[in-house]
A and B are shown apart, each in its own frame.
Chain A
Amino acid sequence: MDMKARKTTPLIDMRGVSFVYRKGEPEEVVAVRDVDMQIHRGEFVAVVGANGSGKSTLAKLTNALLLPTEGKVFVDGMQTDLREHLWDVRRTVGMVFQNPDNQLVSTTVEQEVAFGLENLGIPTEDMHRRVDKVLTEVGMADSRDQEPHNLSGGQKQRVAIASVLAMEPACLVLDEATSMLDPQGRADVMEAARFLTEDRGLTVVCITHFMDEAAEADRIVALKEGQIAADGSPEDIFGGGLDLESIGLQAPAVTRLAENLRADGLSLSAGMTDSEQLVGEICRLYLNR
């Protein structure tokens, strides 16, 4: 991220945020604990951590689906627990979950994507243009006339993402939105997300258990038992020095391969997370062998 972005107001700003399910009851669960975190416009952030570490809870705090039981969350400067901001907060941060079934309501894919726009009173022509664009971005343009209910899980998911994109949010939160997709679908969605960040400054927060996917983010936030256990670049997180296993993580394939080779005596850079770099270094070793 560049320094210019750092100076502006963070898009998402969490200050001393905790969230407790069933607060006050005997079975209360502290899911997020005293989190301070800022996400800036245009960042591509991966959130990782073991099952139950608080990732989804954290995500829901960013668009007022949950309100902090302690601390404050600001979205583009708007405090999420003030009712008057609710609508704008939800429009600013669009969220897509793992299972889109419950989110799909219309009889065609096209209507599904247009649904939210109709409510906004967007002119018909503009609406068609937007629908076209987002369906193309997620690779579902050919299925526009299909019934969402007849689509496969992965196809439904791409429609759900398109529906959120159509609202033109500043931030897209993907809560394991790619975890049910086939590899091609996953790559397509990640590519679209990448494109939206780089080309249009969309902020993407991507919760994932795929370490290869996380390694492609600008920044990784690792949660452990509701707290931030690590926050940094992919190299900071996977490059060594962190006890990944204790946070329930694993290094991505490229790092594991590079470390294996180093352990076997090859002179390679430590803690690589970029496959291009590994390929380059191996080719060099081969030439100088």
Chain B
Amino acid sequence: MPIIFEQVSYTYDEDTPWSKQALLDVDLRIEDGDFVGIVGPTGSGKSTLIQHMNGLLKPTSGRVVVNGIEVSSDSKDMRQLRRMVGLVFQYPEHQLFEETLRDDIAFGPRNLDLDAEEVQRRVEWACSAVGLPEELLDRSPFELSGGQMRRAAIAGVLAMECDVLILDEPTAGLDPRGQSEMLDLLDALRRQGLTIIMVSHSIDQLVQLADRIVVMFEGRVMLQGQTREVFAKSEALRQASLDLPEVAKIMEKIREGGVPVSSDVLTVREATDAILEVLRGDGDAQGRHNHRAVHSG
């Protein structure tokens, strides 16, 4: 069942002098199995938005309905909601608290009243999925490096085996190999039918994974649509102080230098093809387009 936002507004510390409007009239619909990327500058409301999806925050006005459960209703429903929707926070240490890493990752599954064997299976699966070596399991989660903590926080949520997975900057702090492994993992989970919502600053990553993009700006949905279409609107992205990928900037400079390469390039692979075509002089605009289509994905 979908995730629906209708005219949602949210104000932090309402009725105080330091109240802050973080969401304004947000309308959104996310279908089962969607992979949605949420982008926007810091402070644009991304984290506030996703915390509505598992009931951590409730709208100040408007409606949020997740898998048929209305966020705002009683706490029994909220518990059920949190079993369906797993949320990985921006700062992993905010969700680590147990004595050992093993207990931390097992915390969620244990609360689902699973038997010990199943809990064990899930802990092992989640650890290997995020690339945490066994020998760390008996350590305190606070005796880990930053990237190890990030992996631990993600493992804890994965072990819940939720239908909907929401991740706030899941690759921040991961080393390059860890980043690409994490993206592969999310891709695999999507293929298993999970709904995935990922907040990210990395257009590079979202181009590889997301079906749709929601651009947040000053608490509002500034733009949403198919990934390529949204990222083609570079003016809008600039306004949302979203940067183009490094390779797109290089392409822009090459164009400024008088080489007519395509402007619709977001990955290194695409850039390679676009440059080769122009330099080998075999591509009119149409041909270029077809050639690129072969390599997309």
Contacts and interface: CB of A to CB of B under 8 A. Distances in A.
Given A21-B143, A182-B242, A153 B90 contact: yes
B254 A282 contact: yes
Interface stretch (A47-55, A79-87, A125-133, A195-203): A47-55
Contacts of B143: 21-22, 29
B268 A289 contact: no
B62 interface: no
Given A211-B176, A248-B177, A283-B257, A154 B42 contact: yes
Interface stretch (B1-9, B65-73, B74-82, B276-284): B276-284
A254 B139 CA distance: 39
A257 B145 CA distance: 31
Contacts of A270: none
B139 A279 contact: no
Contact of B42 (A175, A185, A275): A185
Contacts of A236: none
Given A51-B148, A264-B276, A98 B241 contact: no
Nearest to B143: A21
B220 to A, nearest CB: 15
Interface string B73-103: 0000000000000000011010000000000
A147 B18 contact: yes
Interface string A256-280: 1100110010100000000110111
B27 to A, nearest CB: 22
Given A245-B177, A257-B250, A184 B41 contact: yes
B268 A257 contact: yes
A213 to B, nearest CB: 10
Given A21-B143, A150-B20, A153-B91, A51 B281 contact: no
Contacts of A245: 177
Interface in A26-57: 27, 29, 49-53, 55-56
Contacts, number: 157
Interface in B19-72: 20, 40-44, 47
Contact of A27 (B138, B145, B250, B272): B138
A181 B241 CA distance: 11
A56 B40 CA distance: 29
Given A49-B175, A180-B169, A257 B272 contact: yes
A119 interface: no
Interface string B255-288: 0011100000000110110011011010000000
B173 A176 contact: yes
Contacts of A99: 91, 93
A198 to B, nearest CB: 22
Given A252-B246, A264-B276, A275 B43 contact: no
26 contacts: A50-B147, A50-B177, A50-B178, A51-B145, A51-B174, A51-B178, A56-B146, A151-B43, A153-B90, A155-B42, A155-B43, A180-B172, A182-B243, A184-B242, A184-B243, A185-B41, A209-B147, A209-B179, A249-B176, A253-B268, A254-B247, A257-B247, A266-B275, A279-B250, A283-B258, A285-B279
List 9 A-B pairs, minimum CB-CB distance, nearest first: A51-B147, A154-B42, A183-B243, A152-B43, A184-B241, A250-B176, A283-B257, A253-B246, A152-B42
